[in-house]
Amino acid sequence: MPLMKSWLDSANLPDCPFPLNNLPLGVFSVGDEEPRCGIAIGDHILDAASAEAAGLIDLDGGPYLDVPFWNDVMEAGAAVWAELRAQVTDLLKAGSDLRGEVEALLVPIADAQMHMPFLVAEYTDFYAGKNHAVNVGTMFRGAENALPPNWLHIPIGYNGRASSVVVSGTPVRRPWGQLKSPDHDVPAFLPSRRFDLELEMGAIVGTASEGPVTVDEADAMIFGYVLLNDWSARDIQAWEYQPLGPFQAKATATSISPWIVMAAALEPFRVMTPAREKDLLPHLRDTGPMLFDIDLSVELRPAGGTSSTIARTNYREMYFSAAQQLAHHTTSGCPMTPGDLLGSGTISGPTKDSRGSMLELSWGGKEPITLVGGESRSFLEDGDSLTLRGAAKGDGYTIGFGDCEGTILPALADPYERN
Ligand code: CA
């Protein structure tokens, strides 16, 4: 599919992340005004809440946009999702009769503050990138036992905390936690010394399920995707993760990009999962291309310093798709809810410069990386700003997500001190 032209010139540039083909959904505010639903187009945001109030957007069963989150639209189902895209396309396409009315509802992105685009119902994080799992497993258990015996058969996951998910731009404070001391028998309670990022994609469940769903049904339930940084304290993780998996190591914060890219905008970029060493059981088998060709990168900028791109990879490196993860999630009968967020797991490529965490990039701290400007890093330092970016490259256009940024604040001097 080629670029769909808008009357807004900035949306027609090949590198613009928000062409008419994209129409990602966010929640924004300007100045002291209340947050409201908006849709990115070019270098502007369409005030979708006002467009609906004015009758320019009129969805079956609505109104849906009189609240500052997109959950009601998700819950309305796929017919309403398609209706929304069709109506907004009509408002913004080149030659639209409604240009005059719509122009008055555009706000420059540069003037807007972004908020959480949806209420996270529940948050599950997976461990379904094979290069990442092999790298981490090799470091923790040796090359022979890198992948646990279940890994090639099910997407491994754990239940995270919805309350810890924050929107891009929210600072993240270095956590305290219980750490194993290499020299002593007793652990110590200290600020994490091995604080890390994880480059992931997040899939958002749009429609509810009761009981198990097939991979195809799961794919149809997914409303959209965001970039996701699963901040991780490796030293807390190493001490706590056996036998029930990560807990406090992953509970400080998880950052997401401010715009939900709807699944429909990613349709042209579908790709297959990689070749499998072992056949999946029938209920998880691939039924078609369910990954997406999305270039991903991580940039690290020290306080007052220059940005370095520390990793470049692609979402197609995943071993299990979000649809397979969601299908697996329901096998027990676990009900899924609109607004459930599924983290993909860290997305690392096969090469050294395509690894999606500092743990892998510095190989457990043994091989620090050198940043532009000469500083080196094994793990993240206070003041470091991390930015994830994602782009699917179409025929003359780009589908972007907006930056997923977070800056690390120093640990509190005493986390139990009360004012
Ligand atoms: Ca993770």
Beta pairing, strands 199-205 & 341-343:
antiparallel
Quote the ligand 1 centre to 202 CA distance (angstroms). 10
* CA dist., res. 126 & res. 138, Å (int): 18
CA of 346 to the centre of ligand 1 (A): 6
The mean pLDDT of 308-329, rounded to a whole number, is: 98
Whole-number Å distance, alpha carbon 236 to ligand 1 midpoint, is: 14
Class of domain 123-409: alpha beta
| Rounded Cα gap, residues 202 and 400, in angstroms | 14
How far apart (Å, rounded) are the C-alpha atoms in residues 371 and 369? Answer: 7
Distance CA 283, CA 211 (A): 13
Q: How far is the CA of 197 from the centre of ligand 1 (A)?
A: 9
Active site residues: 132
pLDDT of residue 181: 75
For residue 1, is pLDDT > 90?
no
Which amino acid type is present at position 371? L
**DSSP secondary-structure letter at 6?**
B
Tokens of 327: 């299908």
Q: Which residues of 195-214 are buried (b: 16+ CB within 10 A; e: fewer)?
A: bbbbbbbbbbbbbbbeebbb
Of 391, 392, 368, the closest CA to residue 381 belongs to 368
Instruction: Give the C-alpha separation, 14 to 396, whole Å.
Output: 5
Residues 227, 350 contacting (CB under 8 angstroms): no
Find the 148 Cα to ligand 1 centroid distance in Å: 17
pLDDT at residue number 395: 93
Pick the CATH number of 9-115 from 1.10.10.60, 2.40.50.140, 3.20.20.70, 2.30.30.230: 2.30.30.230
- The domains of the chain are located at 9-115, 123-409
Q: For 14-44, write each residue's pLDDT tens digit.
A: 999 999 999 999 999 999 999 999 999 999 9
For residue 55, give every residue at least 6 positions away whose Cβ sits within 8 Å of its Cβ, in sequence order, or none. none
* pLDDT at position 183 over 80: no
How far, in Å, is the centroid of ligand 1 from the Cα of 347? 9
Mean predicted lDDT score pLDDT of the chain: 97
The least confident of 91-95, 182-186, 346-350 is: 182-186
Nearest to 281 by CA among 152, 131, 415, 95: 152
Is the pTM for the entire model greater than 0.95?
yes
Answer yes or no: same fold for 9-115 and 123-409.
Answer: no
Continuous segment of H or E residues that includes residue 398: strand 398-400
In the predicted structure, residue 9 carries a pLDDT above the cut 80: yes
Q: Count of CB atoms within 10 A of residue 414's CB?
A: 8
Contact assessment for residue 338 and residue 205, using Cβ atoms and an 8 Å cutoff: yes
> In the predicted model, what is the mean pLDDT of residues 103-109?
98
Query: Cα–Cα distances in Å, from 257 out to 118, 215, 226?
Result: 11, 26, 6
pLDDT confidence of residue 163: 98
With bands split at pLDDT 50, 70 and 90, how would you rate the model's confidence at 127? Answer: very high
What spacing in Å lies between the alpha carbon of 57 and ligand 1's midpoint? 37
